[in-house]
Amino acid sequence: MTTTVRLPLRVEQALATYCVETKRTKSEVIVELLEQRFTGTDTERTPYELAREAGFIGCLSGKGAGVAQAGGTKERVTAAIRKKHAR
């Protein structure tokens, strides 16, 4: 069955990015999410997984890799919080 859904631009971009990163089609991702929603089998991610996906955990590339760069994490956390609570 074919269903058409209008997505806000930010959601469409996030979906496209996720599909490229996971090498899956949009249909696969949407069907999986709908099945989770309607069957109640929501796979909760751990705080570590969420932080890793957000880019707060991982290796830095380039000069000074492995050494925390002053202010980098703080700005990313602040930006993520502002984005989440933007009106």
Q: What is the mean pLDDT of residues 18-41?
A: 87
Q: What is the mean pLDDT of residues 33-50?
A: 78
**Token duo for residue 23:** 């090498």
Q: Give domain limits for the chain.
A: 9-39, 44-57+69-87
pLDDT of residue 35: 85
d(CA 24, CA 16): 10
Question: Mean pLDDT across the chain, nearest whole number?
Answer: 81
> Which one, of 36, 39, 33, lies nearest residue 14 by Cα?
33
pLDDT tens readout for residues 49-74: 878 877 787 766 655 555 555 567 88
CB burial of residue 29 (10 Å; 0-12, 13-18, 19+): middle
Question: Which of helix, strand or coil describes residue 64?
Answer: coil
- Total-model pTM: 0.45
pLDDT of residue 26: 93
